[in-house]
Structure 1
Amino acid sequence: MQFGVLGPLEVRTATGEPVVVGGPRPRALLVLLLLNAGRTVGLEQLIAGQYDDDPPAGAANAVQVQVSRLRKAVPGIEFTGAGYRLAVDPGDVDALRFERLARDGHRSLAAGDHARAAATLREALGLWRGPALPDLPHGAAMATRLDDLRLDATEDLVEAELALPEGTDVAELRRLTKEHPLRERLRGHLMRALHAGGRPAEALAEFEDVRRLLADDLGTDPSPELAAVHLAILRADQAPARRGPAAQLTSFVGRGAELARLASLRDTRLVTILGPGGIGKTRLAVESAREDACFADLSPVDDPDTVPHAVLAALGVREAGLQAPATDPTRRLAAALGREELRLILDNCEHVVAAVAALARTLLAECPGLRIVATSREPLGLTGETLVPLAPLDDAVRLFADRAAAVRPGWTVTPDNLATVTDLCARLDGLPLAIELAAARLRQFTVDELAARLAEHGPFRLLSRGDRTAAARHRTLRAVVAWSWDLLSAEEQTVARRFSVFTGAVPLAAAEAVCGTTDDVLADLVDRSLIDTDGTRYRMLETIRLFCAERLAESGEPVRARHAAHYLDLALRADPHLRRAEQLEWLAELSVAHDNLMAALRWAVRQDRVTALRLVAALAAYWWLSGRRSQAGEAAAALLTEEVPEGLEEEYVSCVVHAVPRAAPEHWARAHQIMRPRDGELRYPFTAALFGMAVGPWGPPADAEPLLGTDPWNVALGRLGNGLRAVLGGRTAEGEQELREVLAAFRGLGERWGTAQALDWLAEVAGWRGEWGRAHELWAEALELYERLGALEECVDVLCRRAGCAVRQATLDAAAADYRRAAVLSARAGRPDPPAVRLGLAEVARLRGHPDEARALLGTASATEGDLGAEVTRARIRTALGRLAEAGGDPAEARRQHREAVDAARASPMRAELAGAVEGLAGTALPADPERAALLLGAAVALRGTALTGDPDVARVAATASDLLGPDAFAAAYARGAAMPPDRALTTLDGG
């Protein structure tokens, strides 16, 4: 609640609704409690405040009755045994808040910070609505005390205003001196104000008037202080001393490089510290100043013509104190400075930048000893000006810790909260003001709560409280940005709000196209520190972008549609180049634009389904090649409805594929129907690759050639699918030859993804046959190509296959290293803990003799329904569990697991994977039926199209069966199984 006693008693709720407190005695009682908010007021004091020196009998009971009535309107009145206490914050009572502000203003005045003092004292005096404590009939002493404090604060305010360029109100001063004719300090202020206004005769007359009053009424002379003002006027020496930078209340953190640069520029005539609001320009200028510096704050100047007057005031120059007859203030400044060696700090120049530039040009030309340091949000634009642009603070975390410890003693950055603090500072763009405002909120929140609220509500709502004595434009983050916004022209504001649709840095062409502007306007916004550039790309700090985005929402301009159309055009232009030798350059271009592409997609999903569908299809190759395909899943799933827009069938199929595993069966059925042969080539050839990989095994459907057309990349893609189907379908020799030719085709195009695909599977076949050196050479080249593309998920696949080969080579350390690296890359790609990695590490653990570790890893490996190759994953898990059961001496469990592995693998079209499950099943035939074991091992060769060389489990089963049967019988049974056609080999699984 809010309470007012500086005038008639006023009580309001937190939402501003008035609360009626009836009866004069309850009102008087409430006033007494409010003047002691949070402290206990004794019963005797309450009675005295009600009845003065003549309380009636039963006054104590009467007070208790009044308290009971009062509690109905004002909660929080507590009885403590020694009296009553109103549990409210003293800051909610205007009289107590006035006293605190008056003290703060007096301290600022004593420190020489006249602007802060004036702002604070105006706020304090603005709380008065009338005479103090009119509802406390016996509170004359307390009312008199408050009136005296009010008068003291008024005198302090006048003194502060006299030191500022705008001065004070002489008429108001005359009124005050008439009300308080013997207040010598007020009279001195009036004399100084009259003299500063060019009315010295009236100032001297005021002194004579007060001298007569003091002699007649009190029989005394004016005080030494008033006499000194009189003498200074007589000597035309009333001007205050030259103003230096104000003493700072907080430590200075960071900016070591910038301080060193300013030190190196000590003798440079004009230096401008440049940057957006709140980045610390003023503080850096103050910290770099020496004893010879004069500080002129131009923020209160609202008329460009008065800039020279503000500098005159900072220098302590008054017209009467100069011999030069010139009346032009710039000429007076030049005359006053002459050849003096001086460093002049002109702070906050951006709103009067043209006037400051004109003044600086004249003074620098006529005053050879003058050096100017300006702080501004845009350059002065003078020849010879040296700019010191400020970037976001590097030591943002240290600044946060320093300011946080000031409001919450003992708080420090720890390993547990470092990541949160770092992220919070990054969200605030490293702006010192924003970080200080955020740190101050630790009085209310923990750092985790602060970060959560920042993410939920944004910076402007959270950082809405600042130093109440600061200039209004520096009290909140919104005010800082609004100050810059208000200085823009209408055209600049239009471009700035349109630019807010961008996320991250964008090239000039994008900014011009989406914002409908030219590089000249963008250059103006760069000069005004609303936009930053590295010479090729443009960006906004996030805090500024959010402010401009609010202005865009208010305008209702359809800029987001233009933004989405621009990035759709970029995606469509890039798509064919991603299948050519120039794919790295275009991948880099799209990667730089990634955040904007995704922002365009998110908006289009909500507002423009056609654009969203086209974006998904056009970006499919980019997402796949750069390892980002999982990022499109949610958006793609949201676009799947019962209706397939006419002419956007391919786009729909692309959404189905990207939505795995979210896509429902009916969407897959429509996708299959769309992908059947039809007239015309695919507009998005990569859609066929994605669809083929989704429906398996890998590559486009066997009948997709008419869709792929005659484009060389499309043809190579079709042949890649044919080769993979042959390899994984048991026709290894045929598939290997096809892959060799595919490799040559992709190499000829200079296309890296298809080249790496062919290399990877050629390496896999070489590894099956035990051609270790060739396999690792091919995998090394494939990895290098995928890494250059940034295709993390493909890198994971290659590493897992290479690790499996290393297991067969018995180089378990190398295998484990590849599996661990694959886990790291998969997590970076947004797919943590891939089953293949856990399966592989479980195999390594089992072969090292650590069955418990292997079993634990298998327990966390699972196949997600709808994932590509889910049946294969389930089969591999069962095979691994079966081999653990064999090692543990449980043949029945081993048979069950291997049988289930075979059943799972038979659900997949990949016979090479079925071969692995069959090899596991072969071990369960021992020792009872070694001939069947040999036959199953041979059947696995028939299914895969080649023997699996080096596998320790296959070698163990083969050796045992050979020992039991004899070498010749084993060889005959093995050859009989290997000679079977693949379909015939399948019947051996059922005992045929």
Structure 2
Amino acid sequence: MRFGILGPLDVRAPGGTPLDPGGPRPRALLTLLLLEAGRTVPAERLIDGLYGDEPPAGAANALQSQVSRLRKRLSLDIEATPAGYRLAVGPDDVDVHRFERLAAEGERAFTAGDPSQASALLGEALGLWRGPALADLPAAFGSRLDEIRLTTAQTRIEAELALGSGGGLVPGLRELIAAHPLSERLYGQLMRALHADGRPAEALAVYAEARRVLAHELGADPSAELSALHLELLRGREPARGRGVPAQLTRFVGRADELSRIDALLAGARLVTLTGPGGAGKTRLAAEAARDRADVCWAELAPLTGGEQVPYALLAALGVREGFRGPQGDPVERLIDALEGREVLLVLDNCEHLVDEAARTAGVLLGACPGLRILATSREALGITGEAMCPVPPLAAGPAARLFMDRAAAVRPDADLHARVETVHGICEALDGLPLAIELAAARLRTLTVDELADRLGDRFRLLSRGDRTKAPRHRTLRAVVEWSWELLDEEERDLARRMAVFAGGSSGGATLAAVEAVCGVPYPEDLLASLTEKSFLEAAGGRYRMLQTIRAFCAEHLADEGELSGLRDAHAAYFRGLAAQAEPYLRGGGQLPRLAALGAERDNLSAALRHLVGADPRAALRLMADLSWFWRLRGLHGSHVPLARELLAALGDEPPEDLAEEFVLCVINTVAGDGNDPREPQRLARAEAVLASRDHALRRPFVVVLWSVAYGPQYAVKERVRRQVGEAPWGLALLDVGLGFQEWFAGRPVTSEEHFERALAGFRATGDRWGMANCLDPLGMFADWRGDRERALALLDEGLAHVAALEAPEETADLLHRRACVLLHQGQLRDAAHHFTRSAAMARAAAVPDKVASARRGLGDVARIGGDTEHARVHYEAALELCAANWFSVGETVRTLIGLGRVALAASRPDEARDWFEQGLALCDGPTRALELADAAEALASVARDPREAAVLLGAGAGLRGLALAGDPDVAPVEERIRAALTPETYEKAFEEGRAMRSAAVSRP
């Protein structure tokens, strides 16, 4: 089948027969699916497109019905997925995707200097349009495509102008200007077309029209480029079209923000310098920024070996020839004569090795030629008054991956890298997002697979040693790029650069001024750091100095010997041990936010110090790990340190070192991954339990109790020993109340539990600990929800979310979002609940907590089921079961998920299957800490009980096990209403109270 949406929806059978999708809503639905042909479209996006801001009640159910009817009417393959719906058609079967492909190919052909091929491809792309795009959707949906259409049309006109066309373009250009009266590019193209057609007077009149329209509509004058074109035409000269800008052989990727910034800077400054490390893409960015300007001169300075050559290189770039008798007069004066009266952009590429002479020449020319603007590229600034700096950072993750895949497609067209996007992102991150390094890496896919490439990046200088032979030697290999910068440093700068290689790379690597001074042993290093930054060997931001990984690896190679490296690592570890030890006591009070920020900024350095100490000094490593353990938990980082903790434990052996018992227990806790893959885990936990049990006094680190209960489970009850271990300090007493609160909650005594959490909240407020407050507000919000006080529940949870947002604690954020989603679900706000569950899943996934991801997926299943979409509900429940890990948290989650599957079966009128699911959940509730799961199972079994009185007993058992009956629960309330209708009030109350008294015994009689 063929589909057209560049105009009114057009559906054609394989033989060309038109097909009717139906009324406006099916047409809109099919258009939305075709926009993402072959990809899943989220249900929320489809609902928004069909109904706008006010979807009807049961919109998910209505969407499912619409999809079903569309399937049947057109025999379409529309697949339901956990995330939404997917129309199984190829992109080339839909005109909009053919248009975007042809437009991109045409742009590439034009950039590569083939205007004939570009014109053909772009003309074919534009010929697919039959009217306004996405005519069956609101106008806002088509705005992006309209912009692409305009850009495609303009590029095709450029190609035709390059081929010598003129008069034939004029009618189409006038139509485009009528539709886009503020587009200066179109006015310029019309002026050039009229000039090429021998109509110069009309071309000048177009400029007058553009100036009038811009003044009336925007209160602005024409741009410098349009004014320069007008001046060229007045002089009777052929309009300049980006002459001097080197032709590029590859597609330009990303850098939209940088291009906009360069345009803005050039509008206000006459000298703009692009700075950045070698390989960052300064030259290519300059070429793209200069390409469409009216009068451009490009001067390449890299091949020059002496400063005296700079003016002569500029003369050659301007096309100023020497006389027969050789050079005549001062070259700078001749440059001034050549530039006099011109509105020209002069590009000085690669100034860093001749920066003084380039700066002197540029300063003289700017002072003498008011129409001159200069765009320079350099690894350090020229240092001229009025210079505007534009740093060129590495590519962000998305553009870096696109660049890699674009260049890889040229050498391995058969490689489907979209299926390996995570690996591609990893490669680009390892290469610091440097465009040159990414291009060199992509070229190696001629002989390597993407996995082989990723595995070999540890030796990046050898791997990326074969580049484009057409490029200058300094850009053929990664090593040559860095060596070019290295040679520009003096000996003191090189010495500090070598030493700074000891600091970690990565987003939280680098060093503060204090760290550089302490670790590198260089007193007062401010001037050297400033110089290295100016030469793009370091990046400076927020008081930190950071090296790109590529530069760091190069500097590490230049350390004198292993002894120097070992000494630096010892100094580095000592400094960061002190930093962690100083911060640790403040992580449990009002000063926790600045200390968390300080540790977060040094996260990679702290990990590097710990890795070094595990091998060099295990006792010191144990202390550092203990100092970091609470920080890791608050920031959701503990999972990434499991292998290192296991390595440290192996180095220490089974017995804790003297006076380090608490630190030993924390190390054991940090080895627990919760994945069930380590058979030694139970033995370690048993040994650590014995060590902790021997501590019958206040602990130096009372948070050990929290982390132990998380790792070991709720069977670690609050006993007298634990009371003594938390001590008498306010934080420990508040923590004790939290433990007692959970204990009472699991025992089905919510009133007492709530009292403990209220007291704990007051205690944590007194200490200023946001983590403690959030962990009290979560259960307090739940109790309010159970009683039906939903507004109070949301207020409590919102306060908790504010605290965890300040802490940047992903695991606690996931918990509170999940709890808030449950409240919204009970209020009937299904879309908001689904949004919260989705966010909770994302936060839990980021924190590597699979049981909480499972909980969120189960919540999404509840939303879908209550909204009537049982198909998606089942998908979510099954995904939740797969995610449940082998730890104590997952038993409860598994029980609730099995109950959800039972309710799906019940909604489909399959009560026997539902009962089977409920009984499977009941069978897992086999311990004293499972009262809450038993309560859920009892209430679920009540919905399939054959005898109304037995159902009332089960509802009573649920309330008894939980300690109260849930108010307004969307699953329990209808069952209660049905049972009350089947029994007399006296019979119901008597049976309910019988169940409440029997508690767990009642559940065993479904």
Fold in common (TM above 0.5): yes
Q: Secondary structure at the match of 1:834?
A: helix
The alpha carbon displacement at 1:986 in A equals 4.3
The separation in 2 between residues aligned to 1:664 and 1:418, in whole angstroms, is 34
Q: Secondary structure at the match of 2:700?
A: coil
**Which residue is equivalent to 1:909?**
929
**Which residue is equivalent to 1:510?**
515
Q: Does 1:825 align with 2:843?
A: yes
The alpha carbon displacement at 1:496 in A equals 1.5
| Equivalent pair of 1:298/1:310 in contact (CA under 8 Å) | no
The separation in 2 between residues aligned to 1:977 and 1:672, in whole angstroms, is 38
**Which residue is equivalent to 1:686?**
703
| Equivalent pair of 2:814/2:843 in contact (CA under 8 Å) | yes
Aligned ranges 1:139-178 → 2 under 5 Å: none
The separation in 2 between residues aligned to 1:483 and 1:729, in whole angstroms, is 70
| Equivalent pair of 2:270/2:374 in contact (CA under 8 Å) | no
Q: Secondary structure at the match of 1:827?
A: helix
Matching residue within 613, 624, 637 for 1:628: 637
The alpha carbon displacement at 1:467 in A equals 3.8
Q: For residue 532 of structure 2, what is the amino acid of its counterpart?
A: L
| Equivalent pair of 2:884/2:893 in contact (CA under 8 Å) | no
Q: For residue 513 of structure 1, what is the amino acid of its counterpart?
A: A
| Equivalent pair of 1:379/1:387 in contact (CA under 8 Å) | yes
In structure 2, stretches of 5+ residues that fail to align are: 1-242, 316-320
Matching residue within 532, 543, 547 for 2:539: 532
The alpha carbon displacement at 1:478 in A equals 0.7
| Equivalent pair of 1:770/1:950 in contact (CA under 8 Å) | yes
Q: For residue 668 of structure 1, what is the amino acid of its counterpart?
A: L
The separation in 2 between residues aligned to 1:294 and 1:952, in whole angstroms, is 71
Q: Does 1:711 align with 2:718?
A: no
**Which residue is equivalent to 1:655?**
667
Q: Does 1:277 align with 2:278?
A: yes
> Compared with structure 1, are the counterparts of its residues 666 and 398 closer, same or farther at alpha carbon in structure 2 (3 Å cutoff)?
closer
Q: For residue 569 of structure 2, what is the amino acid of its counterpart?
A: R
Q: Does 1:499 align with 2:519?
A: no
**Which residue is equivalent to 1:834?**
853
Q: For residue 646 of structure 1, what is the amino acid of its counterpart?
A: E
The separation in 2 between residues aligned to 1:912 and 1:936, in whole angstroms, is 14
What TM-score, normalized to structure 1? 0.63
Q: For residue 625 of structure 1, what is the amino acid of its counterpart?
A: L
**Which residue is equivalent to 1:377?**
379
| Equivalent pair of 1:872/1:913 in contact (CA under 8 Å) | yes
The alpha carbon displacement at 1:761 in A equals 0.7
**Which residue is equivalent to 2:618?**
609
**Which residue is equivalent to 1:590?**
599
Matching residue within 874, 893, 907 for 1:873: 893
The separation in 1 between residues aligned to 2:251 and 2:869, in whole angstroms, is 57
The alpha carbon displacement at 1:627 in A equals 3.3
1:284-312: per-residue Cα shift (whole Å, max 9, x none)?
Answer: 778869989795846553xxxx6436766
| Equivalent pair of 1:901/1:917 in contact (CA under 8 Å) | yes
> Compared with structure 1, are the counterparts of its residues 336 and 511 closer, same or farther at alpha carbon in structure 2 (3 Å cutoff)?
same
The alpha carbon displacement at 1:530 in A equals 0.6
Over the matched positions of the two proteins, sequence identity in percent amounts to: 40
1:825-861: per-residue Cα shift (whole Å, max 9, x none)?
Answer: 3333334683323433444455556666555544443
Q: How many residues align?
A: 726
Q: Secondary structure at the match of 2:649?
A: coil
The separation in 2 between residues aligned to 1:847 and 1:367, in whole angstroms, is 76
> Compared with structure 1, are the counterparts of its residues 866 and 706 closer, same or farther at alpha carbon in structure 2 (3 Å cutoff)?
farther
| Equivalent pair of 1:466/1:476 in contact (CA under 8 Å) | yes
The alpha carbon displacement at 1:380 in A equals 5.4
CA RMSD across the alignment:
4.7
1:244-294: per-residue Cα shift (whole Å, max 9, x none)?
Answer: 9796565795664576478558866xx765432234556677886998979
What TM-score, normalized to structure 2? 0.62
| Equivalent pair of 1:650/1:684 in contact (CA under 8 Å) | yes
The alpha carbon displacement at 1:968 in A equals 2.1
Aligned ranges 1:95-244 → 2 under 5 Å: none
> Compared with structure 1, are the counterparts of its residues 548 and 666 closer, same or farther at alpha carbon in structure 2 (3 Å cutoff)?
same
Matching residue within 581, 584, 587 for 1:572: 581
> Compared with structure 1, are the counterparts of its residues 465 and 874 closer, same or farther at alpha carbon in structure 2 (3 Å cutoff)?
closer
Q: For residue 915 of structure 1, what is the amino acid of its counterpart?
A: A
Q: Secondary structure at the match of 1:861?
A: helix
> Compared with structure 1, are the counterparts of its residues 698 and 589 closer, same or farther at alpha carbon in structure 2 (3 Å cutoff)?
farther
Q: Secondary structure at the match of 1:722?
A: helix
> Compared with structure 1, are the counterparts of its residues 931 and 509 closer, same or farther at alpha carbon in structure 2 (3 Å cutoff)?
same
Q: Secondary structure at the match of 1:905?
A: coil
| Equivalent pair of 1:699/1:724 in contact (CA under 8 Å) | no
The separation in 2 between residues aligned to 1:807 and 1:690, in whole angstroms, is 31
| Equivalent pair of 1:779/1:798 in contact (CA under 8 Å) | yes
User: After the TM superposition, which of the residue ranges 728-737 and 677-686 deviates more from structure 2?
Assistant: 677-686
User: After the TM superposition, which of the residue ranges 583-592 and 665-674 deviates more from structure 2?
Assistant: 583-592
**Which residue is equivalent to 1:732?**
750
The separation in 2 between residues aligned to 1:901 and 1:266, in whole angstroms, is 71
| Equivalent pair of 1:681/1:709 in contact (CA under 8 Å) | yes
The alpha carbon displacement at 1:477 in A equals 1.5
> Compared with structure 1, are the counterparts of its residues 440 and 936 closer, same or farther at alpha carbon in structure 2 (3 Å cutoff)?
closer
Q: Secondary structure at the match of 1:906?
A: coil
1:142-196: per-residue Cα shift (whole Å, max 9, x none)?
Answer: xxxxxxxxxxxxxxxxxxxxxxxxxxxxxxxxxxxxxxxxxxxxxxxxxxxxxxx
Q: Secondary structure at the match of 2:924?
A: helix
| Equivalent pair of 1:688/1:700 in contact (CA under 8 Å) | no
User: After the TM superposition, which of the residue ranges 497-506 and 416-425 deviates more from structure 2?
Assistant: 416-425
| Equivalent pair of 2:363/2:384 in contact (CA under 8 Å) | no
Q: Does 1:943 align with 2:955?
A: no
Q: Does 1:434 align with 2:437?
A: yes
> Compared with structure 1, are the counterparts of its residues 542 and 965 closer, same or farther at alpha carbon in structure 2 (3 Å cutoff)?
same
Q: Secondary structure at the match of 2:545?
A: strand
Q: Does 1:640 align with 2:643?
A: no
| Equivalent pair of 1:259/1:284 in contact (CA under 8 Å) | no
Q: For residue 658 of structure 2, what is the amino acid of its counterpart?
A: E
| Equivalent pair of 1:617/1:687 in contact (CA under 8 Å) | no
1:57-102: per-residue Cα shift (whole Å, max 9, x none)?
Answer: xxxxxxxxxxxxxxxxxxxxxxxxxxxxxxxxxxxxxxxxxxxxxx
**Which residue is equivalent to 2:765?**
747
User: After the TM superposition, which of the residue ranges 410-419 and 593-602 deviates more from structure 2?
Assistant: 410-419
The alpha carbon displacement at 1:456 in A equals 3.9
> Compared with structure 1, are the counterparts of its residues 298 and 691 closer, same or farther at alpha carbon in structure 2 (3 Å cutoff)?
closer
**Which residue is equivalent to 2:308?**
308
The separation in 1 between residues aligned to 2:907 and 2:300, in whole angstroms, is 85
User: After the TM superposition, which of the residue ranges 531-540 and 950-959 deviates more from structure 2?
Assistant: 950-959
| Equivalent pair of 1:689/1:700 in contact (CA under 8 Å) | no
The alpha carbon displacement at 1:481 in A equals 0.3
In structure 1, stretches of 5+ residues that fail to align are: 1-243, 325-331
| Equivalent pair of 2:715/2:929 in contact (CA under 8 Å) | no
Q: Considering only CA atoms, is the larger Rg found in Structure 1 or Structure 2?
A: 1
**Which residue is equivalent to 1:472?**
473
Q: Secondary structure at the match of 2:644?
A: helix
> Compared with structure 1, are the counterparts of its residues 340 and 800 closer, same or farther at alpha carbon in structure 2 (3 Å cutoff)?
closer
| Equivalent pair of 2:380/2:534 in contact (CA under 8 Å) | yes
> Compared with structure 1, are the counterparts of its residues 506 and 761 closer, same or farther at alpha carbon in structure 2 (3 Å cutoff)?
same
The separation in 1 between residues aligned to 2:896 and 2:247, in whole angstroms, is 69
User: After the TM superposition, which of the residue ranges 286-295 and 667-676 deviates more from structure 2?
Assistant: 286-295
**Which residue is equivalent to 1:562?**
571
The separation in 2 between residues aligned to 1:880 and 1:410, in whole angstroms, is 46
Q: For residue 516 of structure 1, what is the amino acid of its counterpart?
A: G
Q: Secondary structure at the match of 2:693?
A: coil
Q: Does 1:551 align with 2:558?
A: yes
The alpha carbon displacement at 1:532 in A equals 1.5
| Equivalent pair of 2:423/2:450 in contact (CA under 8 Å) | no
> Compared with structure 1, are the counterparts of its residues 867 and 494 closer, same or farther at alpha carbon in structure 2 (3 Å cutoff)?
farther
